[in-house]
Amino acid sequence: MTSTWDTVVLGGGPAGFMAALHLQMAGKKVCLVEAGSARLGGVCLHEGCMPTKSLLKTAEIYAQLRQAEEYGLQAKVEPVDLQQAVARKNTHLQSLNNQIQQMFEQSGVHVQVGHGAFISPAEIEVVHGNERIRLKAQSFIIATGSRPRDVRGLSVDGDLVLNSTQMLNNTRMPQRLLVVGGGAIGCEFASMYQAFGAHVTLLESAPQLLPREDADTAAALQQGLEKRGVHVLTGSSATIVELKPNSVEVEICGGTNEHQFFDQVLIAVGRQPNTEGLQLQHAGVVMSGPFIQVDKHLRTSQPHIYAAGDVVDTMMLAHTAEQESGVVVANLLGKNEELRNHAIPRVVYSFPQVAAVGALENDLPAGSFTVLQQPFAENGKALVDQRQEGHVKILVDKQTQRLLGAAIVGDHATELIHELTLAVTLGLPLQALQQTVHAHPTLAETIWKLAKSVA
């Protein structure tokens, strides 16, 4: 059986389902290939953004209850119930998935259940059980997302050694947890489980946490984590020695080699794109390492085939994927849209939070910019909130006074970053922030005061 479409979209995550919906609304005949309607929303909804934020909210409230005396309150706190926290998370995911399913039902986008693979540049075959269906299209969008990356010497068993997907459904509270990987995923899980009451060791092979951020941003995060009780090891690696009935023996290599025992180990060393099994060679699509090679319009080596989201070599973030889907849709509708990703916010929902946008100091020519930095310790709202750690940093071009980049470490950083994202996106000068009155008392006024600190 063969059917013909204007566009076939492979993958129902943020890039895929947004592109499908917008193309259908523009009058195109669209088919989206996904494992099923229950999987709409992709990694972000089911194994990434949303489930981690649900569990992190539980961790945040739990940590605040344990700090009640700091606020003049008395509270008796029982041990965290991970089973109940996971159930709460699953309720949220089901609600969000229902919303997406309802959008698709109303839009008219056809969801073809199964796994799709190219058999020619103009046709794919979708396999679902014993059923095989062929889909022809004038254009294709590849948006099949990513999965947790494997590490040699750290084999996942789903019980004692887990990846991030498995950890989201973990209901056994470890007394001692090793988190391997000091990127966004690792820092979030380390924050979460420390708040839940575990003794957490966070290990990163690079010299700093968040290797893609500025050193002072990483240092502030590490200080905040260590203040809470997380044991941070940078410039280190780990190898599993032996899985015992209820613990894992791990050799940690760094300054000194030593064996330690943990109740569970989380492997959180990033993600790898889902491109295997797509038979891209049959479509003539060129790869760049594990990623699909695209131009600035997100076209592959085949002009009618586009790729977006985690399968291309950009930041693996849901909002990046959504932005890229917009570029693809615009070009399929006859426009000439280019990907502009210099001002995509990078956010980490750790304790403390981290958010950054634009250039890093190492990206810029020495002497071409000014660094402005203000600690939250000087902010009145941070004082009454008992959240004085961290800082706001802004990079300003010396010649034009335009904002080139910014970073925030501290409470609500992931919300506060958007004012600075707007400034970097539009190339606004520092004067624009100076003239924007901020309410008092707020954490956001730290940005205003920092801007006004320059005459």
For residue 106, name the pLDDT band (cuts at 50, 70, 90).
very high
**Nearest-angstrom CA–CA distance, 215 and 217:** 5
Residue with tokens 């295997």: 276
Please tell me whether residues 261 and 289 are part of one structural domain. no
The model's pLDDT over 187-203, given as tens digits with 9 standing for 90+, comes to: 999 999 999 999 999 99
Please tell me whether residues 263 and 289 are part of one structural domain. no
Using the predicted structure, report yes or no on whether residue 292 has a pLDDT greater than 70. yes
**Nearest-angstrom CA–CA distance, 29 and 25:** 9
What pLDDT shows up at residue 37?
87
Average pLDDT of the chain, as a whole number: 96
Please tell me whether residues 262 and 291 are part of one structural domain. no
Please tell me whether residues 168 and 243 are part of one structural domain. yes
Please tell me whether residues 305 and 415 are part of one structural domain. no
Report the percentage of the chain scoring pLDDT > 90. 95
**Nearest-angstrom CA–CA distance, 55 and 168:** 8
CATH number, position 120: 3.50.50.60
Residues 6+ apart with CB under 8 A from 102: none
What pLDDT shows up at residue 2?
82
Decide: 280 and 112 in contact? Cβ < 8 Å.
Answer: no
Using the predicted structure, report yes or no on whether residue 20 has a pLDDT greater than 70. yes
Phi, psi of 274 (to 5 degrees): -90, 85
In a domain, 202, yes or no: yes
For residue 209, name the pLDDT band (cuts at 50, 70, 90).
very high
In a domain, 345, yes or no: no
What pLDDT shows up at residue 420?
98
User: What is the domain range of residue 386?
Assistant: 352-452
Please tell me whether residues 141 and 284 are part of one structural domain. yes
The model's pLDDT over 392-409, given as tens digits with 9 standing for 90+, comes to: 999 999 999 999 999 999
Q: What is the pTM (predicted TM-score) of this model?
A: 0.96
For residue 154, name the pLDDT band (cuts at 50, 70, 90).
confident
What does each C-alpha distance from 453 to 356, 372, 394, 447 come to in angstroms?
21, 8, 12, 10
What's CA 77's distance to the chain center, in Å? 31
User: Where does a domain end: 248, 269, 290?
Assistant: 269
Residue 342 falls in the annotated catalytic set: no
Decide: 3 and 133 in contact? Cβ < 8 Å.
Answer: yes
Residue type, 226: E
Decide: 286 and 308 in contact? Cβ < 8 Å.
Answer: no
In a domain, 422, yes or no: yes
**Lowest model confidence (mean pLDDT) among 30-34, 35-39, 125-129:** 35-39
HSE-CB for 76 with a 13 A CA cutoff: 0
Residue whose C-alpha is closest to residue 188's, from 211, 157, 210: 210
Using the predicted structure, report yes or no on whether residue 310 has a pLDDT greater than 80. yes
In a domain, 26, yes or no: yes
In a domain, 156, yes or no: no
The model's pLDDT over 119-147, given as tens digits with 9 standing for 90+, comes to: 999 999 999 999 999 999 999 999 999 99
Using the predicted structure, report yes or no on whether residue 44 has a pLDDT greater than 90. yes
Residue with tokens 């750690």: 389
In a domain, 35, yes or no: yes
CATH number, position 399: 3.30.390.30
The model's pLDDT over 213-226, given as tens digits with 9 standing for 90+, comes to: 999 999 999 999 99
Overall average pLDDT of the 346-360 stretch: 98
For residue 455, name the pLDDT band (cuts at 50, 70, 90).
low
Phi, psi of 184 (to 5 degrees): -60, -45
Count of beta carbons in the 10 Å neighbourhood of residue 333: 13
Please tell me whether residues 262 and 279 are part of one structural domain. no
**Nearest-angstrom CA–CA distance, 272 and 290:** 8
Residue with tokens 């958007």: 418
**Nearest-angstrom CA–CA distance, 213 and 103:** 37
**Nearest-angstrom CA–CA distance, 264 and 201:** 11
Q: Is the dihedral of CA 304, 328, 92, 165 positive or negative?
A: positive
Residue type, 249: E
Phi, psi of 57 (to 5 degrees): -65, -40
User: Where does a domain end: 215, 241, 269?
Assistant: 269
Please tell me whether residues 256 and 195 are part of one structural domain. yes
Please tell me whether residues 410 and 433 are part of one structural domain. yes
Using the predicted structure, report yes or no on whether residue 255 has a pLDDT greater than 80. no
Helix (H) or strand (E) holding 215: helix 215-228
What's CA 122's distance to the chain center, in Å? 33
Overall average pLDDT of the 418-445 stretch: 97
In a domain, 338, yes or no: no
Q: What is the DSSP letter of 453?
A: T
Using the predicted structure, report yes or no on whether residue 238 has a pLDDT greater than 80. yes
Residue with tokens 């023996």: 249
Overall average pLDDT of the 265-281 stretch: 96
Please tell me whether residues 316 and 369 are part of one structural domain. no
**Nearest-angstrom CA–CA distance, 362 and 135:** 47
Q: How many domains does the chain have?
A: 3
Helices (H) and strands (E) in the chain, counts: 13, 24
In a domain, 340, yes or no: no
User: Where does a domain end: 242, 269, 296?
Assistant: 269
Q: In what order do the strands lie in the sheet with 258-262?
A: 237-243, 248-253, 258-262
**Nearest-angstrom CA–CA distance, 164 and 149:** 10
Please tell me whether residues 119 and 186 are part of one structural domain. no
> How, if at all, do strands 264-267 and 176-180 pair?
parallel
What pLDDT shows up at residue 93?
96
Please tell me whether residues 387 and 300 are part of one structural domain. no
Q: Is the dihedral of CA 128, 130, 131, 136 positive or negative?
A: positive
